[in-house]
Amino acid sequence: MKDFNKYFDHTLLRPDATEGDIAILCEEACQYDFASVCVNGCFVREAYRLTRSLNRSLGSTVKVCAVAGFPLGASSTSVKVFEADRAVGDGASEIDVVMNIGEALTGRWDSVENEIRSIAEICHDGDALLKVILETCLLDDSQIAEACARATMAGADFVKTSTGFATPPEGIFPGATVHHVKLMRKSSGGKVSIKASGGIRSLHKALSLIEAGADRLGCSSSVSIMREYEASQL
Protein backbone atom coordinates (compact mmCIF):
# COMPACT_ATOMS: atom_id res chain seq x y z
CA MET A 1 0.00 0.00 0.00
CA LYS A 2 1.48 3.33 -1.07
CA ASP A 3 2.31 5.72 1.79
CA PHE A 4 0.85 3.42 4.47
CA ASN A 5 2.87 5.35 7.08
CA LYS A 6 0.91 8.52 6.30
CA TYR A 7 -2.29 7.04 7.71
CA PHE A 8 -0.95 7.35 11.26
CA ASP A 9 -1.31 10.02 13.90
CA HIS A 10 1.29 8.69 16.36
CA THR A 11 -0.46 9.36 19.65
CA LEU A 12 0.45 9.87 23.30
CA LEU A 13 -2.33 11.32 25.46
CA ARG A 14 -1.78 9.50 28.74
CA PRO A 15 -1.99 11.69 31.85
CA ASP A 16 1.41 10.40 33.02
CA ALA A 17 3.24 11.33 29.80
CA THR A 18 6.48 13.21 30.39
CA GLU A 19 8.58 15.48 28.19
CA GLY A 20 10.94 12.56 27.70
CA ASP A 21 8.08 10.41 26.45
CA ILE A 22 7.13 13.13 23.96
CA ALA A 23 10.70 13.24 22.68
CA ILE A 24 10.58 9.50 21.98
CA LEU A 25 7.17 9.89 20.31
CA CYS A 26 8.51 12.59 17.97
CA GLU A 27 11.65 10.61 17.15
CA GLU A 28 9.59 7.54 16.26
CA ALA A 29 7.13 9.56 14.20
CA CYS A 30 9.86 11.24 12.17
CA GLN A 31 11.76 8.00 11.64
CA TYR A 32 8.65 6.47 10.07
CA ASP A 33 7.42 9.77 8.60
CA PHE A 34 3.95 9.42 10.08
CA ALA A 35 1.26 12.01 9.34
CA SER A 36 1.51 13.61 12.78
CA VAL A 37 2.20 13.30 16.46
CA CYS A 38 -0.93 13.79 18.57
CA VAL A 39 -0.29 15.28 22.03
CA ASN A 40 -1.95 17.17 24.84
CA GLY A 41 -1.86 20.95 24.69
CA CYS A 42 0.95 21.42 27.19
CA PHE A 43 3.34 19.53 24.90
CA VAL A 44 2.53 21.22 21.60
CA ARG A 45 5.35 23.76 21.65
CA GLU A 46 7.98 21.13 22.48
CA ALA A 47 6.56 18.66 19.94
CA TYR A 48 6.66 21.36 17.27
CA ARG A 49 10.28 22.21 18.11
CA LEU A 50 11.33 18.56 18.00
CA THR A 51 9.47 17.59 14.83
CA ARG A 52 10.67 20.68 13.00
CA SER A 53 14.28 19.78 13.78
CA LEU A 54 13.84 16.07 13.03
CA ASN A 55 11.93 16.74 9.83
CA ARG A 56 14.84 18.81 8.56
CA SER A 57 17.44 16.18 9.41
CA LEU A 58 15.45 13.13 8.27
CA GLY A 59 13.51 14.61 5.37
CA SER A 60 10.20 13.75 7.02
CA THR A 61 7.02 15.86 7.06
CA VAL A 62 5.46 15.06 10.42
CA LYS A 63 2.93 17.59 11.71
CA VAL A 64 1.76 18.31 15.23
CA CYS A 65 -1.81 17.51 16.24
CA ALA A 66 -3.27 18.69 19.55
CA VAL A 67 -6.44 17.76 21.41
CA ALA A 68 -9.02 20.19 22.80
CA GLY A 69 -11.96 19.60 25.12
CA PHE A 70 -10.30 16.26 25.80
CA PRO A 71 -11.37 13.66 26.79
CA LEU A 72 -14.89 14.53 27.97
CA GLY A 73 -16.05 17.18 25.50
CA ALA A 74 -17.79 18.95 28.37
CA SER A 75 -15.79 22.19 28.40
CA SER A 76 -17.56 25.37 27.38
CA THR A 77 -17.28 26.47 23.77
CA SER A 78 -15.09 29.43 24.73
CA VAL A 79 -12.64 27.12 26.50
CA LYS A 80 -12.42 24.79 23.49
CA VAL A 81 -11.91 27.77 21.18
CA PHE A 82 -9.13 29.06 23.45
CA GLU A 83 -7.45 25.65 23.59
CA ALA A 84 -7.54 25.34 19.81
CA ASP A 85 -6.26 28.87 19.27
CA ARG A 86 -3.43 28.42 21.77
CA ALA A 87 -2.39 25.08 20.28
CA VAL A 88 -2.34 26.49 16.75
CA GLY A 89 -0.28 29.42 17.99
CA ASP A 90 2.16 26.97 19.59
CA GLY A 91 2.63 25.10 16.30
CA ALA A 92 -0.23 22.62 15.90
CA SER A 93 -1.41 22.06 12.32
CA GLU A 94 -4.35 19.88 13.34
CA ILE A 95 -6.81 19.99 16.25
CA ASP A 96 -8.82 17.01 17.52
CA VAL A 97 -11.73 18.37 19.57
CA VAL A 98 -14.29 16.33 21.47
CA MET A 99 -17.88 17.14 20.55
CA ASN A 100 -20.29 18.05 23.35
CA ILE A 101 -21.64 14.53 23.81
CA GLY A 102 -24.29 15.45 26.37
CA GLU A 103 -25.87 17.94 23.99
CA ALA A 104 -25.83 15.37 21.20
CA LEU A 105 -27.55 12.81 23.41
CA THR A 106 -30.29 15.28 24.29
CA GLY A 107 -30.81 16.33 20.69
CA ARG A 108 -29.44 19.88 20.97
CA TRP A 109 -27.92 19.60 17.52
CA ASP A 110 -27.95 23.31 16.68
CA SER A 111 -25.78 23.94 19.72
CA VAL A 112 -23.44 21.11 18.73
CA GLU A 113 -23.13 22.49 15.21
CA ASN A 114 -22.58 26.07 16.37
CA GLU A 115 -19.78 25.01 18.70
CA ILE A 116 -18.02 23.05 15.97
CA ARG A 117 -18.34 26.01 13.60
CA SER A 118 -16.71 28.35 16.15
CA ILE A 119 -13.76 26.00 16.58
CA ALA A 120 -13.47 25.34 12.83
CA GLU A 121 -13.24 29.06 12.16
CA ILE A 122 -10.40 29.57 14.64
CA CYS A 123 -8.55 26.55 13.25
CA HIS A 124 -8.93 27.59 9.63
CA ASP A 125 -7.85 31.14 10.45
CA GLY A 126 -4.57 29.56 11.56
CA ASP A 127 -4.36 27.21 8.55
CA ALA A 128 -5.05 24.20 10.76
CA LEU A 129 -7.38 21.26 10.18
CA LEU A 130 -10.19 20.40 12.58
CA LYS A 131 -11.09 16.83 13.50
CA VAL A 132 -14.28 16.34 15.55
CA ILE A 133 -14.31 13.38 17.95
CA LEU A 134 -17.81 11.92 18.18
CA GLU A 135 -17.19 9.24 20.86
CA THR A 136 -19.10 6.64 18.86
CA CYS A 137 -19.28 4.12 21.71
CA LEU A 138 -21.72 6.48 23.51
CA LEU A 139 -24.00 7.15 20.51
CA ASP A 140 -26.43 5.10 18.48
CA ASP A 141 -26.28 4.95 14.70
CA SER A 142 -28.81 7.73 14.14
CA GLN A 143 -26.90 10.03 16.51
CA ILE A 144 -23.60 9.22 14.79
CA ALA A 145 -25.15 10.01 11.41
CA GLU A 146 -26.54 13.32 12.67
CA ALA A 147 -23.23 14.24 14.32
CA CYS A 148 -21.40 13.62 11.03
CA ALA A 149 -23.90 15.73 9.11
CA ARG A 150 -23.65 18.59 11.60
CA ALA A 151 -19.85 18.50 11.73
CA THR A 152 -19.76 18.58 7.95
CA MET A 153 -22.09 21.57 7.78
CA ALA A 154 -20.06 23.35 10.47
CA GLY A 155 -16.85 23.15 8.44
CA ALA A 156 -14.97 20.28 10.10
CA ASP A 157 -12.26 18.63 8.02
CA PHE A 158 -12.51 15.21 9.69
CA VAL A 159 -14.89 13.29 11.91
CA LYS A 160 -13.20 10.91 14.32
CA THR A 161 -14.53 7.86 16.15
CA SER A 162 -13.18 7.94 19.68
CA THR A 163 -10.98 9.36 22.39
CA GLY A 164 -10.17 5.88 23.66
CA PHE A 165 -10.99 7.08 27.18
CA ALA A 166 -14.79 6.67 27.31
CA THR A 167 -16.57 3.69 28.82
CA PRO A 168 -19.82 2.69 27.08
CA PRO A 169 -22.89 1.75 29.15
CA GLU A 170 -22.21 -1.97 28.74
CA GLY A 171 -18.68 -1.43 30.05
CA ILE A 172 -16.84 -2.94 27.08
CA PHE A 173 -15.00 -0.50 24.85
CA PRO A 174 -15.01 -1.92 21.29
CA GLY A 175 -12.54 0.62 19.93
CA ALA A 176 -12.90 1.88 16.39
CA THR A 177 -15.15 -0.42 14.37
CA VAL A 178 -15.60 -1.09 10.67
CA HIS A 179 -19.33 -0.50 11.08
CA HIS A 180 -18.86 2.97 12.54
CA VAL A 181 -16.28 4.00 9.94
CA LYS A 182 -18.60 2.93 7.11
CA LEU A 183 -21.52 4.75 8.75
CA MET A 184 -19.46 7.92 9.20
CA ARG A 185 -18.28 7.81 5.59
CA LYS A 186 -21.85 7.43 4.34
CA SER A 187 -23.30 10.06 6.70
CA SER A 188 -20.75 12.73 5.77
CA GLY A 189 -21.36 12.24 2.06
CA GLY A 190 -17.65 12.07 1.34
CA LYS A 191 -17.31 15.77 2.18
CA VAL A 192 -15.02 15.25 5.17
CA SER A 193 -12.28 12.77 5.96
CA ILE A 194 -12.61 9.98 8.53
CA LYS A 195 -10.24 9.27 11.41
CA ALA A 196 -10.50 5.98 13.27
CA SER A 197 -9.02 5.74 16.74
CA GLY A 198 -9.26 3.54 19.79
CA GLY A 199 -8.01 0.00 20.16
CA ILE A 200 -6.02 -0.13 16.89
CA ARG A 201 -3.14 -2.42 17.85
CA SER A 202 -2.65 -4.76 14.90
CA LEU A 203 -2.02 -4.56 11.17
CA HIS A 204 -5.19 -6.51 10.50
CA LYS A 205 -7.29 -4.00 12.43
CA ALA A 206 -5.60 -1.04 10.74
CA LEU A 207 -6.11 -2.44 7.25
CA SER A 208 -9.75 -3.32 7.93
CA LEU A 209 -10.49 0.26 8.99
CA ILE A 210 -8.70 1.71 5.97
CA GLU A 211 -10.68 -0.64 3.73
CA ALA A 212 -13.88 0.59 5.43
CA GLY A 213 -13.02 4.19 4.55
CA ALA A 214 -10.68 5.59 7.22
CA ASP A 215 -8.30 8.28 5.95
CA ARG A 216 -6.32 8.52 9.18
CA LEU A 217 -5.66 6.24 12.16
CA GLY A 218 -5.00 7.48 15.68
CA CYS A 219 -2.65 4.97 17.33
CA SER A 220 -0.24 4.59 20.18
CA SER A 221 0.82 1.29 18.54
CA SER A 222 1.87 2.88 15.24
CA VAL A 223 5.45 1.63 15.39
CA SER A 224 4.53 -2.00 16.07
CA ILE A 225 1.92 -1.89 13.28
CA MET A 226 4.49 -0.45 10.87
CA ARG A 227 6.97 -3.18 11.76
CA GLU A 228 4.26 -5.78 11.17
CA TYR A 229 3.48 -4.15 7.84
CA GLU A 230 7.13 -4.06 6.78
CA ALA A 231 7.55 -7.71 7.66
CA SER A 232 4.49 -8.56 5.56
CA GLN A 233 6.12 -6.93 2.53
CA LEU A 234 9.24 -9.14 2.61
Mind telling me the catalytic residues? Answer: 96, 160, 195
| DSSP calls for 46-104 | HHHHHHHHHHHHHT---EEEEEESTTT--S-HHHHHHHHHHHHHHT-SEEEEE--HHHH
Closest CA to 151 of 115, 198, 103: 115
Cβ(103)–Cβ(77) below 8 Å: no
What is the dihedral sign for C-alpha 181, 42, 127, 70? positive
